[in-house]
């Protein structure tokens, strides 16, 4: 039976490099079946073509997935297909993400960024989780960022709302909503929130994954930063996409010695 790996936002940049590195690094057994997911089928198809001849006995198929689909329909369709074809997901690599290019910060930018990086990614994880639970050694690998480091929140009391050991999903959602409301009212700085839509979306995603790790001890659940990688998102980045793929690929394939609920960078656990 194949090991099924789903990679989101895999039509280019770090996501495509993750698929390429999985093919390079995975042993021949078990055979991999990788879902290269893209929100746009023609971009996904072109990415698939670019990997032709590099499969090394593994299989790469196109998966259609719009992580920003608020209705959740896109994730449900992918789940139904996987349920029929594979019955399980061994590894879900949540890589798709967005960032604005300028320093502007307002409620509109916040909503746009959170829609994919937090709410959409969370919805995809929640939808696919029942299939992940069916795998013998299941893993969730989520690409966040060093920008989502907990120290982004300078106010200790506000920070604790994301980092406390017994954080619940409801508490996390309430904190995120209060942050958004404070931005709408223009009071966020006074209330101790930072001025970063991208950083806060990734910090929130880290907090969500770590609470999931406590809730699902049988699943290996880790998050990581790929480093500063030269892509459309970060044109001045210094790493190549293949270098950026190293940590997520390690989390997907290597023996992690049971480590779960941690944030990784440069293939090592780092304090979050
Ligand atoms: N580059 C860096 O230095 C850096 C640093 C830290 C963390 N990261 C994180 O690494 C991940 C990959 O970033 P990257 O640098 O490779 O960015 P990128 O070049 O902008 O690629 C982003 C990928 O996500 C996809 N995507 C965006 N919105 C989507 C949606 N609604 N549904 C499905 N796919 C969607 C894009 O698809 P389209 O082609 O259709 O837009 C693309 O495949 C992101 O989570 C990012 O936050 C990057």
A 10 A CB-CB count for 200 gives 28
pTM (2 d.p.): 0.98
Distance 166 CA to ligand 1 centre (A): 30
Domain boundaries, the chain: 3-99+118-146+202-270
pLDDT at 168: 98
Q: For 93-122, what is each residue's pLDDT tens digit?
A: 999 999 999 889 999 999 999 999 999 999
pLDDT at 213: 98
Q: Which CATH architecture has domain 3-99+118-146+202-270?
A: 3-Layer(aba) Sandwich (3.40)
Would you say how long the chain is, in residues? 272
Distance 187 CA to ligand 1 centre (A): 30
Q: Establish whether residue 97 lines the binding site of ligand 1, counting it when its CB lies within 6 angstroms of any ligand atom.
A: yes
Q: Establish whether residue 46 lines the binding site of ligand 1, counting it when its CB lies within 6 angstroms of any ligand atom.
A: no
Q: Establish whether residue 9 lines the binding site of ligand 1, counting it when its CB lies within 6 angstroms of any ligand atom.
A: yes
CA–CA gap between residue 131 and residue 91 (Å, rounded) = 10
pLDDT at 102: 83
257 sits in the region (left: phi over 0; alpha: psi -120 to 50; else beta) called left
**Residue 118 known to be catalytic:** no
pLDDT at 58: 98
Kindly give the parts of the chain with pLDDT less than 50. none
Q: Establish whether residue 148 lines the binding site of ligand 1, counting it when its CB lies within 6 angstroms of any ligand atom.
A: no
Q: Which atom of ligand 1 is nearest to the CA of 202?
A: 47
Q: Establish whether residue 115 lines the binding site of ligand 1, counting it when its CB lies within 6 angstroms of any ligand atom.
A: no
Q: Which of 18, 48, 233 to mutate to test the pocket of ligand 1 (most atoms within 8 A of CB)?
A: 233
Q: Which of 11, 21, 96, 244 to mutate to test the pocket of ligand 1 (most atoms within 8 A of CB)?
A: 96
CA–CA gap between residue 95 and residue 6 (Å, rounded) = 10
Q: What angle do CA 4, 1, 25 make, to 5 degrees?
A: 55
pLDDT at 262: 98
Distance 11 CA to ligand 1 centre (A): 9
Q: Which atom of ligand 1 is nearest to the CA of 67?
A: 32
Distance 96 CA to ligand 1 centre (A): 5
pLDDT at 103: 83
pLDDT at 88: 98
């Amino acid at each position: 039976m194949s090991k099924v790996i789903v990679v989101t936002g895999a039509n280019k940049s770090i996501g495509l490099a993750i698929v390429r590195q999985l093919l390079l690094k995975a042993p021949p057994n078990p055979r991999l079946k990788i879902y290269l997911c893209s929100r746009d089928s023609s971009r996904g198809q072109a990415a698939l073509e670019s990997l032709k001849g590099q499969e090394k006995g593994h299989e790469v198929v196109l998966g259609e997935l719009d992580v920003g689909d608020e209705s959740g329909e896109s994730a449900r369709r992918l789940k139904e297909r996987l349920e029929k074809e594979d019955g399980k997901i061994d590894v879900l690599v949540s890589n798709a993400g967005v960032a604005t290019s300028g320093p502007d910060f307002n409620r509109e930018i916040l909503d746009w960024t959170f829609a994919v990086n937090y709410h959409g990614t969370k919805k995809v994880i929640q939808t696919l989780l029942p299939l992940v639970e069916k795998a013998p050694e299941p893993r969730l690998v989520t690409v966040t960022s060093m920008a989502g480091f907990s120290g982004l929140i300078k106010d200790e009391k506000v920070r604790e709302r994301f980092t406390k050991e017994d954080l619940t999903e409801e508490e996390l959602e309430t904190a995120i909503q209060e942050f958004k409301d404070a931005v709408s009212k223009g009071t966020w700085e006074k209330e101790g929130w930072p001025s970063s839509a991208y950083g806060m979306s990734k910090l929130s995603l880290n907090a969500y994954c770590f609470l999931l790790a406590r809730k699902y001890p049988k699943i290996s659940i880790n998050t990581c930063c790929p480093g500063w990688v030269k892509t459309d998102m970060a044109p001045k980045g210094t790493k190549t996409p293949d270098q950026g793929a190293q940590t997520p690929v390690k989390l997907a394939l290597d023996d992690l010695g049971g480590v779960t609920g941690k944030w990784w960078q440069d293939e090592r656990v780092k304090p979050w």
